[in-house]
Structure formats: structure tokens, C-alpha cells
Structure 1
Amino acid sequence: MERLAIYIISDSLGETGEQVARAVVSQFDIKDYEVRRYPYVLDMSFLKEILGECKKDNAIVLYTLVDLELADYVKEYCKEENIPNIDLVNPVMDAIISKTNLTPLREPGIIRKLDEKYFRRVDAMEFAVKYDDGKDPRGLAKADLVLIGISRTSKTPLSMYLANKNIKVANIPLVPESPLPKELFEIPSKKIVGLTNTPDKLNEIRQERLKALGLSSNANYASMERILEEIEYAEEIMKKLGCPVINVATKAIEETAGLILEIMKEHGLELYKDRK
């Protein structure tokens, strides 16, 4: 038997076509075969060149092309030249169209882009957990954004929310008795956003927090005197750093996050969702 040649023609990596080809070949007792993968076939001239080689090689063609012009050309060329060919994408796409009446994006390599976006998000969320609440100040230099503020100013929820936007966030609590990490003063101030709250709102939130923990609501943590002291201390630090400050008292997490994203854009900080 002559050597079996299978050509995989794709507008992305061609991994799907190759996996299908090898899975099917494994069902036969074939030792002499070759699977050739041609990725990123995005123009007609390149496609014609590949098909010319395919004809010489007497090969089978498997293709994953979302561009209808390219896919139709492969189909017609192979029909004229009597080349066995299988379209692995468009018949499935047509079936989905018939069921949903939706229009496909027909964007090459979109699943790979989605995978990359997913892994960036996971990476950002792991980063937010690792560098939450000042656990490791070495993370400040690696962060896209650093949030600072006294207790109960939504630092952690905002860090996780922004991580879902693929932004790596570290946050540092401002406590008068605790020295600030030197790394905080070594990063550009445009990467820092301060968070604050009104005394009354903080008093209310902290009292509820103490109750949830089974502690007395009269603890110093929730006293107005202590809260005013912390707010004053935080304002001094934020002024020294020269960072923008957001009062979260009347804002939902989504609203505050939107303001932070606008600040990042104004400061020229690159957002992952804007990257191509």
C-alpha cells in the first residue's frame, strides 16, 4: 500500500484537525502515513499553493476554515481534482445556525483566544488571593493595580472583582500601628488607588462585623474615635503617595470598579481586555 498522506488546513493552529486525523488512522493497521499540518492559512494564494502540493501527494484533506470563501474553494478544488476532503467546521456551524438562527462570528482562532482570556483571569484571581491584605509586599511591583485603605473599605471584594477583568490587584491595609511596606513607596503613584468611607458608614459596618464574629459591638475597632483616627491616618498616607481616592460609602462594588478602570485608563495603564 502506498504511503497515506493527510493534509490539515486550518486558519488557526490546526490542532483539532490533526487530532481527528490521528484518532481515525489509529483505527486502521496503517504504519506508513504522514499528517501534515498547515496552520494560519488566511489568504487564497497560500491555500492554492497547499492544495497544489496536496494534489501531487495524492493526499486526503481535512480543513477547519471559518472563512467561507476559503472553505468553498477547498471544496470545489477537491471535487474537480477528485481529492477526498472533509470540512470539520462548517457542517456543524450550519447545523447550529439552523437551530438558533444566529450568525456566527467566523473569526479564526477564537477558541484559542478565549482559552488565553480564561487563563489570564485565573492567573489574576490567584494573584489577588496571594497578595490580599498585605500578605506579601513583594507583589506590589508585579501588580497592575494596588488598592490601599483602612479596614472595611472593600479592598478584597474589589480586588477579586477586578481580577475577573484580568487585572492583577494587590491590596494593603492602612493601620496606624503597622508600618507600611517600603515597596508601596517604590511603585508609581498612578498604580495606586486609595479607598475610604464615611465615619458613620464605617461604624455601622464594623459593628455588624463584630456581631457576626460574636464579639461586643463596643470594641475599640468600631468606636467612632478609633475610626476617625484611622481615616485621618489614611488621608495622610494617600496625600503623601499622591494617589486618587474613592469614597465607597454609597457605591456598589461594580460602580467603584468602574471608576477604578476609568482612573487606570486616564493614567495610561494597559488593561488586559484592551490587548489584541
Structure 2
Amino acid sequence: MPQRQINLHLVSDSTGETLNSIARATLARFDNHHVIHHRWSLVRSRLQLDRVLEGIEHEPGPVLYTLVDSSLRLALEETCGRVGVQCFSPLDPVMDLLQGAIGARAKEKRAAQHVMDADYFRRIDAMHYVLSHDDGQGTLGIRDADVVLVGVSRSSKTPTCFYLANRGIKAANVPLVPGAALPTALEDPPCPVVGLHIEANALIDIRRHRLKIIGAAGVRHDASDYIDPEAVKAEIIAARRLCSSRGWPVIDVTRRSIEETAATVLQLMEAWHARRKDGAPTHTPEDPAAAVLGTPGRGP
């Protein structure tokens, strides 16, 4: 089937993040397409909208918009109707649903989700925390963490922590290095600890690519324990055994996106706090790696 090309206009009076997410999620389900994105953000005046309308007339295509100002919405809809392109506000059905359930009209307030409130500053604080507690740094500050991720080098600990920080979660990460002692704070952790597991072949590929990027000064690719298959397998097994012995749940990140890993971490955090609230042990009594790694019983 030949590839079809379309123009897609995303018009927002805010940052446009919502429309970008909607477009990305929906277009991922189509094959054999080529979409040219036209992103129009911070459209808050008629002068700014006129530039958008000229763009739509010059390169017509469907329009998704999030505009609060009713006069701007009307002008956009009229132009789309004249040009013969469809336009749609994806938040309107959701807003109508919630207005009916809540029994009140929504305020006409643009970029309401981006106000600098307590939640905003909590996310910024979490970002600062991740920066200062990345890759085993600031181990004393682990006592202030909401969650600690552990795993071998290059198992996606850092990007997962940053994703969680954007949700306001203070996430520290600690590398599991053969022969290196763990921070004392992890002897009796005050928060959930989650292990990240990755298959050996995938890890070797990631590490080999990493060595190429940094130049691997003086490191022979075929001799370094960092990418030696047997050494990597031993490193992964040691990390698995440690998590099993501590009762730390494990997530296999080999074929997971960062978003999927973070979502699972959040689920495990909720389960940890639920057990703590009920007075149950915060560690899992059975091998937490069993379902993920296929290791029955209390350990490998």
C-alpha cells in the first residue's frame, strides 16, 4: 500500500503538549503514512491566529486545537469550514462529560495545568533531587527519597528517575557494581526499592554502543568485563540474587519503554505503601523476581 502524506495542524494557546501526546498516541496505530506536523503553540491573539490561518490555507489538513478564547475558536472553525478541512477540539467531549458529572461549568482559563502551584514546585524539587542523587550520588539523601531504583549499569535507571521526577516523585538510583558495597541507607530503606533487570544480550549491545560514543579510551571492546558476555551474565545474576535476598521487586526493562517502566514503578510504590498501611511486611515474602525472571522459590 503506497504511503499517504497529510498535513496535521496542532493549534494551542498553551505549550501544545496535550495535542502532541494525543497525536503521537493515535498516529502510532497507523501504518504506511507520513504526517507533516505543523505545531502552533501559544496562540493567544487574533494576530497570532491569523498566521495560523494562513498556514492552514497554504497547506490544508486536519486541525486539532485547544483554544479557550471563544472568538479565536470561532475564527479557526470558520476558516477550516471555508478551506474544507476538518477541525476538532479533543478536550471538548471530556470537558462536557466532567461538567455534567461535577455539575458546574469549567472556567475559561488557558494553560491551567501549567500554573506555578505547589504541584509545579514539587516536580521541580524532584528534578533537583534526581540530579543530585543519580548513579549512587548523595547516598545520605536516600532517606528523603520516594523510591530507589537499583540495577546494573545501563539498565535505564537514570531516564526512568527523570520521568518519575516529572510526576513529582523523588527517585534516587544506585548502581549494582560487583564487589561494591551498597549504601547503608538500603539496609533498612524508608521507601520502596525496585530492581531493574535487563537481558544480557540487550545490555551488551547498549554498553557497546555507549563505549563507541564515549570513545572507550584504551578499552578493548573484546576484553573489557563491561561487555564480556560471561562477565555481564554474572553481573546480572548477582544483581538478581541481591534483589531476591532483600525482597525487592524486579522489573524486566528489556522490551519496556521508559514510560512503561515508570508506570510499573508507580504501581509497586502504591503496593508498598498499602502493605505498610496495613501493617504487613513491606518486602515481598516470595521471590519478587520469580514472575519476571522465571526463578522459582526464594532465590536463584
1:217 aligned onto 2:228: no
User: Following TM superposition, by how much is the alpha carbon of 1:230 offset from its aligned partner in structure 2, in angstroms?
Assistant: 0.9
CA deviations over 1:8-33 (Å, ceiling 9, x no partner)? xxxxxxxxxxxxxxxxxxxxxxxxxx
The answer (yes or no) to whether the contact 1:125–1:168 under 8 Å persists in 2 is yes
Contact preservation (8 Å) 2:69, 2:108? no
User: 1:189-204 to 2 correspondence within 5 Å?
Assistant: 191-204=192-205
Q: Give the 3-state SS of the residue equivalent to 2:159 in structure 1.
A: helix
The correspondence for 2:155, drawn from 131, 134, 153, is 153
Identity %: 39
How far, CA to CA, are the matches of 2:161 and 2:113 in structure 1?
27
Query: Which residue does 2:124 correspond to in 1?
Result: 122
| Separation in 2, partners of 1:132, 1:96 | 43
Find the residue that maps to 1:170 and give its secondary structure. strand
Residue identity matched to 1:179: A
- My pick for the range that moved more, 213-222 or 175-184, is 213-222
Aligned mates of 1:145, 1:113 — CA distance in 2: 26
**How far apart, CA to CA, are the structure 1 residues paired with 2:114 and 2:227?**
49
Residue 258 of structure 2 aligns with an amino acid whose one-letter code is I
Output one character per residue of 1:44-88: Cα deviation in whole Å (capped at 9) or x when no partner.
xxxxxxxxxxxxxxxxxxxxxxxxxxxxxxxxxxxxxxxxxxxxx
In the TM superposition, what is the alpha-carbon distance from 1:257 to its structure 2 partner?
Answer: 0.9
Correspondence for 1:172: 174
Matches within 5 A, 1:78-89: none
Q: Which amino acid aligns with 2:264?
A: L
Runs of 4+ in 1 over 4 A off after TM superposition: 101-104, 110-114
Q: Which amino acid aligns with 2:215?
A: G
Q: Does the CA-based 8 Å contact 2:149-2:193 persist in structure 1?
A: yes
Report the Cα distance in structure 2 between the residues aligned to 1:248 and 1:112, rounded to whole angstroms.
Answer: 31
**Superposition deviation, residue 231 in structure 1:** 0.8
2:101 alignment partner in structure 1: none
The TM-score, its normalising length taken from structure 1, stands at 0.58
User: Does structure 1 retain, via aligned residues, the 8 Å contact 2:178–2:235?
Assistant: yes
Corresponding letter in the other structure for 2:221: S
**Matches for 1:1-276 after TM superposition, within 5 Å:** 96-100=69-73, 105-106=106-107, 114-188=116-190, 191-215=192-216, 216-218=220-222, 219-268=224-273
**8 A contact 1:211–1:217 mirrored in 2:** no
**Partners of 2:256 and 2:241 in 1: CA distance:** 23
Computed over aligned residues only, the root mean square deviation of the Cα atoms, in angstroms, reads 2.4
Deviations 1:221-246 (A, max 9, x none): 11011111211211121012201100
> Closer, same or farther in 2 for the Cα pair 1:197/1:111, shift >3 Å?
closer
Deviation, 1:111, is: 8.0
Match for 1:266: what amino acid?
Answer: A
Aligned-partner Cα distance in 2 for 1:214–1:112: 41
Unaligned runs of 5+ in 1: 1-94, 270-276
Write the letter of the residue equivalent to 1:217.
H
Q: Which residue of 2 aligns with 1:34?
A: none
Give unmatched runs, 5+ long, in structure 2.
1-67, 75-91, 96-104, 275-300
1:99-140 C-alpha deviation (Å, 9 max, x unpaired): 3367773399x6896422221111000000101111111121
Specify the SS of the correspondent of 2:162.
Answer: helix
Matches of 2:174 and 2:113 in 1, distance apart?
36
8 Å CA contact 1:121, 1:165 repeated in 2: yes
SS in 2 for 1:221: coil
Mapped partners of 1:96, 1:116: distance in 2? 26
The residue type equivalent to 2:150 in the other structure is I
Q: Call closer, same or farther: CA 1:123–1:185 in 2, change over 3 Å.
A: same
Q: Which structure has the greater CA radius of gyration?
A: 1
TM normalised by structure 2 equals 0.53
Cα distance in 2 for partners of 1:171, 1:182 equals 14
